[in-house]
Amino acid sequence: MRLYVLALNPTDSVTEGFLPAAARLGLDVTLLTDSVAAHASAYEGLPNPPELRACDVRDFRAVIGEIAGHHRPDAIFSNSDHLQAQTALAAQYFGLPGKNWQAAFRAKNKAETRRILNESGLDTVWTAELAPDQDPETLTGIPFPVVVKPREGVASEDVALVAGRAELIEFVRAVQQRRTGAALLLEEFLAGELHTLETLGDATTRQVLGGFRTAVSPPPAFIEESLEFVGAHPAAVTDQVLAELDALGVGFGACHTEFVVQADGRARLIEVNYRSIGDRLDLALVQLLGIPYFEQVLRIHLGEPLPADLGARADLTSYSYYLCADRSGTLTAAPEPFDRTVDGIALSYRTFRELGATHPLYTTNRDYLGVIQAIGPDRDAVHRIVAEFVRENVWEITP
């Protein structure tokens, strides 16, 4: 059976998750990408590397044409934020299981997400869209403070909380210089504790896998600093989030939804990422739940139904802490990656930036140097062991 995977840059989710899962399922994999050299480098040494083909994967017409002229597809899949609608359209064209392309578009386009939810009456959030190159001084009636973000952005890139008009104009103009042709979204700031909801659905059903409690950096940026696994949110909170996903038409395959819970228990949706959670947390789900998560996602795209009971365990928690650069410069000291067991806790460290790499300070998730992750049955123990690792190691950036 032939699986087509659409990708932009290589990611741990695909390299360590979906590709090995496809091999275990006996699938032949063709990966379409506009970055063939980067993927070829990432897959060196893999026992079952995919066939790589160059393609303008952001254009669904190019994707359909490339597949039509190659092997017959049995499934078409992507774990990229940017490629869900294209993947859905290609799957629909070939009569294969997949996400609804309208739902994929609504999830990716944050202005459309807000419009649908505002019209549904489930949640009303003030928003304003700023067209590419539109002068921010033309905007009026802004209920400061507001969050400014790219309409189709990811990973806290060019996202900030702005408190007043002068600050807004300065920030928007800086982003417009960096992102020529990108639309921006202004929206009401939703205060509260940040959480995620991880779901998995087939053509008729959806199951909740749990979620994460997220700590973010102080404003104005929104960098995710740590995430702790939560096996189950309060039922009323989960129900509110699922109702909003229903309004968007989101349900098929993997979905990673971010929301805040306010003091009165009200859940307010922040954004919908219509793919698995990243930054190695989907890899953690395999250990946390004890299920073949990546194989299950692919089976759904092959047309197989979800089991009524995934058989997920519920006795483990995790704590992931992200080490962030605090200045621009060259990384000159950092621990080596490892996997080990400490006091019965599975501890792993992975790098996001190699020694000798020089970077500016992005004030986004791109500042990650590495992640230390602990998984075990005791919440206090996983926090303690992570704190000990951070305290005993050195990350040095030389200007």
What is the mean pLDDT of the segment spanning 352-370?
94
Residue 287's contacts (CB-CB under 8 Å, 6 or more residues apart) are 316, 318, 346, 375
Q: Look up residue 96 and give its two tokens.
A: 């294969």
- pLDDT value, residue 155: 76
For residue 268, pLDDT over 90 is answered with yes
pLDDT band for position 377 (50/70/90)? very high
For residue 354, pLDDT over 90 is answered with yes
- pLDDT value, residue 133: 86
Q: Look up residue 225 and give its two tokens.
A: 């600093």
Q: Where are the domains of the chain?
A: 2-96, 126-188, 193-398
Identify the bridge partners of residue 208 per DSSP, sorted by sequence position.
Answer: 199
Phi, psi of 217 (to 5 degrees): -65, 160
Give 36-85 as a DSSP string. Answer: HHHHHHHTTT-SSPPEEEE--TT-HHHHHHHHHTSSPPSEEEE--GGGHH
Tens of pLDDT, residue by residue over 84-141, are 999 999 999 999 999 999 999 999 999 999 999 999 999 999 999 999 989 999 999 9
Please state whether 290 falls in left (phi above 0), alpha (psi between -120 and 50) or beta.
left
- pLDDT value, residue 154: 84
What CATH class does 193-398 carry?
alpha beta
Q: Among candidates 198, 196, 231, 195, which has minimal Cα distance to 317?
A: 231
- pLDDT value, residue 183: 95
Tens of pLDDT, residue by residue over 165-195, are 999 999 999 999 999 889 999 999 999 999 9
Per CATH, the number for 126-188 is 3.30.1490
What is the mean pLDDT of the segment spanning 139-167?
93
CA dist 368 and 263 (Å) reads 30
Considering the entire predicted model, what is its pTM?
A: 0.96
Average pLDDT, the chain: 96
Phi, psi of 52 (to 5 degrees): -105, 135
The amino acid present at 152, given as its one-letter code, is E
Per CATH, the number for 2-96 is 3.40.50.20
pLDDT band for position 334 (50/70/90)? very high
